Amino acid sequence: MTLRTIASLGPLAGKRVIVRCDLNVPLDDGRITDDGRVRASLPTLRTLVEQGAKVIVVSHLGRPDGEPDPAYSLAPVAARLGELLGSPVGFATDTVGDSARAAVDGLSDGAVVVLENLRFNAGETSKDDAVRRAFAEQLGSLGDVLVSDGFGVVHRKQASVYDLAEILPSAAGLLIAAELDVLERLTKKPQSPYTVVLGGSKVSDKLGVIGHLLPRVDSLLIGGGMVFTFLAAKGYSVGSSLLEPDQLDTVRGYLDEAERRGVDLVLPTDIVVAAAFSADAEHVVTAADAIEDTPFGSSGLGLDIGPDSAKAFADVIRSSKTVFWNGPMGVFELAPFAEGTRTVAEALTQADGLSVVGGGDSAAAVRTLGFDDDRFGHISTGGGASLEFLEGKRLPGLEVLGWQ
């Protein structure tokens, strides 16, 4: 079976089309700080508007624990979506209640409404199939068809992602199709040299990806908080840096496997070590095998890869034909510890081939550091979904749309 597309739904003029987007954007006191996911939803929404559909946008935002919470309202997202579409977008103050029904009943052809946060309803994420299905039935009664376009949630068996796609005629939107196209290019005969750059805080979050990609890549570059478990696995002392002792044996196994396969697994040769987790903390650059030889001793924290490592990583990236990057190289939110991430991002913009930023913190980092999206081959909207795809896992939100 192949992924069902919007065209499979037939003429949509006058039909009520529920669009499951991923509008889970970061908010600061009700203000959107990164609208990348809102922008990513535009191609599908514009396509449906141009066809004269009555467009009903649904999404989650944050983790409000199944009850209404004003801090997680989608109202600011609806307002921003209207600005980007260049036309008014309605907003319902609930998801399947009176406000939602009134808003949907009042839709004209080509109009758009955003319903309130799906996760204000406990049924959206319930582990009980019957409870989840009941909520999906309520949601489904508002529409005629479903276009599933929230790639960031396709790894979740949730009401609006999975059950609703069984209840209504359903198809994938343009964003999901684009994400899948890129991910398949990363897993099915990628152009060589193929480099994967992994960072972020926990090595345990990336073990599945490492295991699945080691047979496929030429180079694997490791940074971020997860690198200290690798350094410790090599016998280095890492001070008070983030460390997962229970993963040391697994990491040693991957180091051995990389050597056996001829994969260039590159670890930093220098580290930025700080006295404390703070932007104004005293910090020094030291060799990766001398973290505890700094003035901070065993209390020192590694918070970024060093400049020599960043340059070495950049050289590998620039010489690659395919690059996938997931996870910052350091605590990029704090200026003294952002240079490793900045250097890696800059190198991806210079790679002569496909460069993919794997969503989540990596996407936030490139935008925070001032890089335009169009400087990269692709910026994924789904960090967790992208990683699970690259691990070879089954994604229920895609399988229900016909993808295998």
The stretch 383-403 carries a mean pLDDT of 90
**Residue 139: predicted pLDDT:** 98
Q: How confident is the model at residue 390 (pLDDT cuts 50, 70, 90)?
A: confident
Q: Is 333 annotated as a binding residue?
A: yes
pLDDT at 296 over 80: yes
Closest by Cα among 196, 134, 182, 188 to 159: 134
Handedness of CA 188, 154, 44, 32 (dihedral sign): negative
Residue 125, classed as helix, strand or coil, is: coil
Question: Do strands 270-274 and 301-305 pair parallel, antiparallel, or not at all (unpaired)?
Answer: antiparallel
Residue in 39, 101, 185, 202 annotated catalytic: 202
Residue in 330, 360, 382, 383 annotated catalytic: 360
What share of the chain in percent tops pLDDT 90?
A: 86
Would residue 202 show up in a list of annotated catalytic residues for this protein?
A: yes
pLDDT at 80 over 80: yes
Could you give the CA distance from residue 195 to residue 219 in angstroms, rounded to a whole number? Answer: 5
**Residue 387: predicted pLDDT:** 87
The stretch 294-303 carries a mean pLDDT of 97
Q: What is the amino acid identity at position 234?
A: K
pLDDT at 1 over 70: no
**Residue 192: predicted pLDDT:** 96
Could you give the CA distance from residue 246 to residue 388 in angstroms, rounded to a whole number? Answer: 22
Q: What is the DSSP letter of 88?
A: -
**Residue 338: predicted pLDDT:** 97
Could you give the CA distance from residue 183 to residue 214 in angstroms, rounded to a whole number? Answer: 16
Q: What is the mean pLDDT of the chain?
A: 95
What share of the chain in percent tops pLDDT 70?
A: 100
**Residue 329: predicted pLDDT:** 97
The stretch 51-75 carries a mean pLDDT of 96
Would residue 37 show up in a list of annotated catalytic residues for this protein?
A: yes
pLDDT at 34 over 80: yes
Q: How confident is the model at residue 341 (pLDDT cuts 50, 70, 90)?
A: very high
Could you give the CA distance from residue 23 to residue 227 in angstroms, rounded to a whole number? Answer: 31
Which CATH number fits the domain 6-177, given the four candidates 3.40.50.1260, 3.30.470.10, 3.30.70.860, 3.30.470.20? 3.40.50.1260
Q: How confident is the model at residue 303 (pLDDT cuts 50, 70, 90)?
A: very high
Q: Which residues contact 302 (CB under 8 A, 6 or more apart)?
A: 225, 227, 228, 238, 239, 241, 242, 271, 272, 273, 291
pLDDT at 384 over 90: no
Q: Is 326 annotated as a binding residue?
A: no
pLDDT at 361 over 90: no
Q: Is 375 annotated as a binding residue?
A: no
Question: Do strands 145-148 and 170-172 pair parallel, antiparallel, or not at all (unpaired)?
Answer: parallel
Closest by Cα among 62, 166, 57 to 104: 57
**Residue 358: predicted pLDDT:** 87
Write down the residue that tokens 């191609």 correspond to: 43
Q: pLDDT by residue (tens digit) across 174-215?
A: 999 999 999 999 988 899 999 999 999 888 888 888 999 999
Q: Is 60 annotated as a binding residue?
A: yes
Which CATH number fits the domain 190-391, given the four candidates 3.40.190.10, 3.30.310.50, 3.40.50.2300, 3.40.50.1260? 3.40.50.1260
How distant, in Å, are the alpha carbons of 18, 115, 121, 260, 398 from that of 112? Answer: 10, 10, 22, 55, 25
Q: Is 359 annotated as a binding residue?
A: yes
Domain spans in the chain, listed from the N-terminal domain onward: 6-177, 190-391
Q: Is 62 annotated as a binding residue?
A: yes
Q: How confident is the model at residue 2 (pLDDT cuts 50, 70, 90)?
A: confident
**Residue 172: predicted pLDDT:** 98
Q: Which residues contact 130 (CB under 8 A, 6 or more apart)?
A: none
Q: What is the amino acid identity at position 42?
A: L
Would residue 353 show up in a list of annotated catalytic residues for this protein?
A: no
- Name the pTM for this structure: 0.89
Residue in 37, 54, 157, 367 annotated catalytic: 37
Q: How confident is the model at residue 383 (pLDDT cuts 50, 70, 90)?
A: confident
Closest by Cα among 242, 191, 187 to 209: 187
pLDDT at 98 over 90: yes
Q: pLDDT by residue (tens digit) across 108-128?
A: 999 999 999 999 999 999 999
Domain 6-177 and domain 190-391 have a common topology: yes
